[in-house]
Amino acid sequence: MAFETILVEQKGAVTLITLNRPQSLNALNSQVLGELIEAFAAFEADASQRCAVLTGSGEKAFAAGADIKEMADKPAADFYNEDFFSKWTSHIVKTTRKPWIAAVNGFALGGGCELAMMADFIIASENAKFGQPEIKLGVAPGMGGSQRLTRAVGKAKSMDMCLTGRMMDATEAERSGLVSRVVPLADLLGEALKAAETIAAMPPMAAVANKEMVNAAFETTLDQGLLFERRVFQVLTASEDKAEGMKAFIEKRPGVFKGR
């Protein structure tokens, strides 16, 4: 697949996707959207690939938002009629069952913050900065920011960020539950790839199940979520990988998993 705005590499069982428009701080335009959807679909379809990492090229930005230059002169009717960014908002999240990590290396603003929050978790570099500054442009988050940020950090911080447009640094983002780890910029990719390799070595069905269970916590009542968790656990006990995982533990050796 030939892409112009992203780079895709396979590193063993891990797919590394890099947003590659450093001259505009990896701003997200329609071409990036199309290419990301294709790259994630290819990752999902390739049985040899078990986890992905999404990052930005350069040291300054993961993505500084949706491309303002693309949106500036676009008539409102086009945003509405095209249902602008609807595919982006839900497609990657809903169709990517395998786990993926956002490695945020600098600014993650507007659509960039929203894209990072679509990942299963975020690892950030010490210079990372998160924000939903759309209000300053006369608009508001449009790719999930008002919903996912609020679920991640709570109403107080989400309102503060959306209404003032201020940025949150990596330390505050970790303290607030937006990111899982903060590491020096030089270690970011290594740390994210290491985490992805760890996940890639897990029993694949269990990886998908764990992801679905955690995500269910945002969609269901506690009772429904607990029932879903219990049923999925019970289904997993029928897998060959469960038999192998438990046998390997008892025999004090690493498990060899087949995804069955």
Catalytically active residues, by annotation:
66, 111, 114, 134
| DSSP sequence for the chain | ---SSEEEEEETTEEEEEE--GGGTT-B-HHHHHHHHHHHHHHHH-TT--EEEEEESSSSEEE-SB-HHHHTT--HHHHHHTTTTHIIIIIHHHH--S-EEEEE-SEEETHHHHHHHHSSEEEEETT-EEE-GGGGGT----SSIIIIIHHHH-HHHHHHHHHH--EEEHHHHHHTTS-SEEE-HHHHHHHHHHHHHHHHTS-HHHHHHHHHHHHHTTTS-HHHHHHHHHHHHHHHTTSHHHHHHHHHHHTTS-------
> Taking the complex as a whole, how short is the minimal distance between the CB of residue 153 and ligand CO8, in angstroms?
18
Name the residue nearer to ligand CO8 (CB basis): 101 or 115: 115
Q: How many residues bind ligand CO8 (CB under 6 A)?
A: 21
> Taking the complex as a whole, how short is the minimal distance between the CB of residue 181 and ligand CO8, in angstroms?
23
Name the residue nearer to ligand CO8 (CB basis): 68 or 248: 68
Indicate whether 31 belongs to the interface with ligand CO8 (CB under 6 A).
no
List 35, 134, 191, 229, residue binding ligand CO8 (CB under 6 A): 134
Segment near ligand CO8 (CB under 6 A), from 130-138, 155-163, 169-177, 212-220? Answer: 130-138
> Taking the complex as a whole, how short is the minimal distance between the CB of residue 218 and ligand CO8, in angstroms?
20
Contact between 170 and 122 (Cβ < 8 Å): no
Name the residue nearer to ligand CO8 (CB basis): 90 or 215: 90
List 6, 16, 25, 200, residue binding ligand CO8 (CB under 6 A): 25
Indicate whether 253 belongs to the interface with ligand CO8 (CB under 6 A).
no
> Taking the complex as a whole, how short is the minimal distance between the CB of residue 172 and ligand CO8, in angstroms?
17
Q: Measured between alpha carbons, how far is residue 79 from residues 65, 75, 82, 83, 85 in Å?
A: 16, 7, 6, 6, 8
> Taking the complex as a whole, how short is the minimal distance between the CB of residue 96 and ligand CO8, in angstroms?
20
Indicate whether 168 belongs to the interface with ligand CO8 (CB under 6 A).
no
∠ CA 88-90-95, rounded to 5°: 100
> Taking the complex as a whole, how short is the minimal distance between the CB of residue 245 and ligand CO8, in angstroms?
42
Indicate whether 143 belongs to the interface with ligand CO8 (CB under 6 A).
yes
**Binding to ligand CO8, residues 52-111 (CB under 6 A):** 64-69, 84-85, 107, 109-111
Contacts of residue 70, defined as CB under 8 A and 6 or more positions apart, other chains included, come to: 29, 30
Name the residue nearer to ligand CO8 (CB basis): 169 or 197: 169
| Footprint on this chain of ligand CO8 (rule: CB under 6 A) | 24-25, 27, 64-69, 84-85, 107, 109-111, 133-134, 137, 141-143
